[in-house]
Amino acid sequence: MPTESAASRGKRAGKIIDILKARYPDAACSLDFQDPLQLLVATILSAQCTDQRVNIVTKDLFARYTTVEAYAKADPKKFEGEIRSTGFFRNKTKSILGAARKLVDEFGGQVPRTMEELLTLPGVARKTANVVLGNAFGINEGVVVDTHVSRLAVRLKLTDAPKERADKIEQDLMALAPRDDWALFAHLLVFHGRNTCMARKPDCAGCPVQKLCPSAFTFGQEPPGKSKG
């Protein structure tokens, strides 16, 4: 593919977003939550764990811990056992209980609504803060870059960064999408990554953005109508 200008990439990204909006009208956060605190806890638990597993764990966890004070006073060993199946349970326990104590001590028990304040909480980096801000508060401070988003951003050539550079990928995606769409953009890419553009065997033939994707049919598949003979 010839070198693409920033303007051309922006137009292509806009078309991709519009098509994915039509394809996935229900695209939204996959984590179950009812308030900012629950989303904060679920997002910390989701590190190196599927959202499906997190939702199974939080169903009981949220019934047991109904306030930030309950988390702040929780017994670490007991909590570790309650979240063990999400993996990295010791570090996650330290982060969640530590964040709860900080919320009680410094934020009046409320999850803060700014990137700067969220980043002061144990276990919270920019990705987690973006999830909370975008989905609990409707505040678009950035684009959540998880494994699906990084993979698709690279495949769609919406970034020149390698998939390991989440920080650079986020900046590139923010430059391509309207700010009001930043949170949704991530959800659209996640849904597309789970349902069509899978890591090992993407369904290029069934992809609604194949004509806008420089990587289409480069995974050992033949374009429609092209014979292998």
Query: For residue 131, which of 120, 116, 142 has the smallest C-alpha distance?
Result: 142
**CATH number of 170's domain:** 1.10.1670.10
DSSP state of 86: G
DSSP state of 193: H
The boundaries of the domain holding residue 11 are: 6-28+143-212
In a domain, 217, yes or no: no
In a domain, 16, yes or no: yes
Residue 146 confidence (pLDDT): 95
Residue 216 confidence (pLDDT): 95
Q: Which of 115, 136, 157 is the last residue of a domain?
A: 136
Integer-rounded Cα Rg, in Å, for the chain is 20
How many whole angstroms separate alpha carbon 212 and alpha carbon 215? 9
In a domain, 45, yes or no: yes
Query: For residue 121, which of 36, 26, 2 has the smallest C-alpha distance?
Result: 36
Q: Is residue 54 domain-shared with residue 117, that is, in the same domain?
A: yes
How many whole angstroms separate alpha carbon 69 and alpha carbon 215? 49
Catalytic residues: 127, 146
Residue 1 confidence (pLDDT): 53
**CATH number of 76's domain:** 1.10.340.30
Residue 107 confidence (pLDDT): 98
Residue 99 confidence (pLDDT): 98
Q: Is residue 182 domain-shared with residue 132, that is, in the same domain?
A: no
Q: Which of 107, 136, 165 is the last residue of a domain?
A: 136
Q: Is residue 46 domain-shared with residue 131, that is, in the same domain?
A: yes
Backbone angles phi, psi at 166, to 5 degrees: -60, -35
Q: Is residue 61 domain-shared with residue 130, that is, in the same domain?
A: yes
Spell out the residues 6+ positions from residue 63 whose beta carbon is closer than 8 angstroms to its own: none
Count structural domains, the chain: 2
pLDDT, tens digit only, all 229 positions of the chain? 568 999 999 999 999 999 999 999 999 999 999 999 999 999 999 999 999 999 999 999 999 999 999 999 999 999 999 999 999 999 999 999 999 999 999 999 999 999 999 999 999 999 999 999 999 999 999 999 999 999 999 999 999 999 899 999 999 999 999 999 999 999 999 999 999 999 999 999 999 999 999 999 998 666 666 544 3
